[in-house]
Amino acid sequence: MNAATTASPASDTATANPTAINRFDALADQVLDGNPISREQALEILKTPDDEVLNLLSAGFRIRQKHFGKTVQLYFLMSAKSGLCPEDCHYCSQSKISEAPVPKHNILKRDDLMAAAKMAADRGAKTYCLVISARGPNEREMSAVEQIVPEIKQKYDLDICACLGLLSREQADRLKACGVDRVNHNLNTSEEHYADICTTHTYADRVGTLRNVRDAGMEMCSGGIIGMGEKHEDVVSMAFDLQELGVQSIPLNFLNAIEGTPLEGNKDLSPHDCLRALAMFRFVNPDRELRISGGREIHLRTLQPLGLYVANSLFVGDYLTTQGQAPEEDYQMIKDLGFEVTKSTGETPTC
Ligand code: SF4
């Protein structure tokens, strides 16, 4: 990929094949000039033929490079409470309707949470993501988070992202006060598609939590899952809702249709579909952190490195209930691309 690649004027390319001209560079120019793309243009990106996906990524790389250079930020996930969730999110192996054999435990003890923080720091992660399975945190879980967050931040150079489910404004204020930097709460899909993937809470509930997080003065991390039977319009709608909410960080997952969940066996995605979606999110949210998240190993497969030409972040290690690839493979991939892992301090860990 050459960031400097631009369409050659037709007069200079009498012998050039017109299909070699990168039509996406005009779109990148539009974004780089500060003019947002329209929903129609975003929809067109999702319809890019496979043969043109490299051109799309090349143009998207120019946007990524302007805002993030060649840096890659790593996140480390810790499932602090697993299973036992009363909600019915159809994609989730921890929901009350899932029959998947996932670990079931209440919030982990201090020592386990500290050991995971050490692992996150050792792996060069910028952010430690503390996740519980819940509709929202109960008082015991809130207190546990309030106790552990200052301790982690005192000992390690890690930002803390809490993913605790739906939050009231008062709970958001308490998280801010104890040192939580960011809260993750994914929109997951569009408002129109939401009732097809969850019936125990609404899209509006999720948006409400994000507003509480924002109003409490924390950063918002929110993204979605591709491959849940949604239409292109749903994916575009989610990307624009995230833009309008002003989320700072966008994790994009690709459905890992776990056996025992209502969406099991759903394997609609090709590697090119994943790349188109990542590129569209980059064009719509040019300066926002874009993280290739769950499902990258099974859906992008050998094309994972190409995703980093538009995304600038990865989870390193395992996901909540599924395995990721070995961290060493991620470090090698980043190094082979000529990119570098950065932390908030600007350090580069040994790869
Ligand atoms: S609220 Fe979270 S943990 Fe519970 S079912 Fe939904 S996604 Fe899973």
Predicted pLDDT of residue 12: 37
Exposure of 163 by Cβ count < 10 A (0-12 exposed, 13-18 middle, 19+ buried)? buried
State if residue 89 touches ligand 1 by the CB under 6 angstroms criterion.
yes
Predicted pLDDT of residue 237: 98
Asked if residues 344 and 160 have their Cβ atoms less than 8 Å apart, the reply is no
pTM: 0.89
The tokens for 42 are: 């975003």
Query: Does 200 reside within a domain?
Result: yes
Query: Does 257 reside within a domain?
Result: yes
How many domains does the chain contain in total? 1
208-219 tens-digit pLDDT? 999 999 999 999
What size, in residues, is the chain? 351
Asked if residues 277 and 252 have their Cβ atoms less than 8 Å apart, the reply is yes
Predicted pLDDT of residue 13: 35
The stretch 187-211 carries a mean pLDDT of 97
Asked if residues 93 and 321 have their Cβ atoms less than 8 Å apart, the reply is yes
Query: Does 46 reside within a domain?
Result: no
Query: Does 117 reside within a domain?
Result: yes
State if residue 137 touches ligand 1 by the CB under 6 angstroms criterion.
no
C-alpha 46 – ligand 1 centre gap (Å): 28
Residue 231 belongs to what domain range? 66-341
Four-point Cα dihedral 94, 95, 98, 100, nearest 10:
0
Query: Does 20 reside within a domain?
Result: no
State if residue 95 touches ligand 1 by the CB under 6 angstroms criterion.
yes
In a mutational test of the pocket of ligand 1, which residue from 77, 79, 88, 89 has the highest number of ligand atoms less than 8 Å from its CB? Answer: 89
Which one, of 277, 238, 250, 241, lies nearest residue 56 by Cα?
A: 277
Query: Does 40 reside within a domain?
Result: no
> What CATH number did the domain enclosing 183 receive?
3.20.20.70
Higher pLDDT, 4 or 256: 256
Exposure of 185 by Cβ count < 10 A (0-12 exposed, 13-18 middle, 19+ buried)? buried
Query: Does 284 reside within a domain?
Result: yes
C-alpha 9 – ligand 1 centre gap (Å): 52
71-95 tens-digit pLDDT? 999 988 888 888 889 999 999 998 9
Which ligand 1 atom minimizes the distance to the CA of 95?
A: 5
State if residue 85 touches ligand 1 by the CB under 6 angstroms criterion.
yes
